Structure 1
Amino acid sequence: MFLIREKIEEKLRKEFKPTHLEVINESYNHNVPAGYESHFKVVIVSEQFSNQRHLKRHQEVYSLLKDEFMGGVHALALHTYTAKEWENLQDTVLISPPCRDAGTFDLN
């Protein structure tokens, strides 16, 4: 049995062949039961993002992960970079914002 995080990671590795990939379960920062997988941060570095605007990169990731959204993923903070962009960031990634629905998330 795969965890949602592992499914996301597997799909991203297969599709984008990243040189760097982090899939971080941030659900613990939100009003969900312990062990729940609903909020993720993805940091992905791939040359497939070359000559693409961030919107296009995000659209491709969301499209790839549509089944995970249908299955309970509530939020995905995406950080998509080329190797050059990643190098210029000096390996720093912004902190994900708090969930707007933190006090009202409905698991049903």
Structure 2
Amino acid sequence: MGEVQDEIELRLRENFSPTKLVVTNDSAKHAGHMGDDGSGESHFTVEIECALFATMNRVERQRAVNRALADLLENRIHALAIKAGA
């Protein structure tokens, strides 16, 4: 795992205490495309499940994940796919 992927995982564990968390680096699929900064850590998929999400709809779940990663999304992550469930 790379530095950004590790940071994503750390923040999501700290913020949500997930029962399931899978962070996948999809950057290799986007090499040479817009948003590829050459770091190999610009595109990710997050699959996360936690009890807190049971009270949230899909949009609220995605917003909560985006808030936890806000500064990374501004500076380090070009694309983030989120699959969030309870």
CA contact (8 A) 1:49 1:81 kept: yes
TM-score using structure 2 length: 0.86
Report the count of equivalent residues: 81
**Greater RCO, 1 or 2 (C-alpha within 8 Å, sep 6+):** 2
Amino acid paired to 2:11: K
Distance in 2 of aligned mates of 1:33 and 1:59: 25
Gaps of 5+ in 2: none
Whole-Å Cα distance in 2 between the matches of residues 36 and 29 of structure 1? 10
* Structure 1: gaps (5+ residues): 83-108
**1:99 alignment counterpart:** none
Query: Residue type of the partner of 2:40?
Result: Y
Conserved 8 A contact 1:16-1:48:
yes
After TM superposition, the runs of 4+ consecutive aligned structure 1 residues lying more than 6 A away are: none
**Distance in structure 2 (CA, Å) of the matches to 1:39 and 1:57:** 19
1:19-98 → structure 2 map (5 Å cutoff): 19-30=19-30, 31=32, 32=36, 35-82=39-86
Is the contact made by 2:4 and 2:76 (CA closer than 8 Å) also made in structure 1? no
Q: Which has the higher strand share?
A: 2
Note the alpha carbon deviations across 1:20-54, whole angstroms, 9 max, x for none: 10011000000236651110000001011012100
Structural RMSD (CA): 1.5
Whole-angstrom CA distance in 2 between matches of 1:17 and 1:52: 16
TM-score by length of 1: 0.70
Contact preservation (8 Å) 1:39, 1:75: yes
Query: Which is greater in Rg?
Result: 1
In percent, how many aligned pairs have the same letter? 33
- Structure 2 residue aligned with 1:10: 10
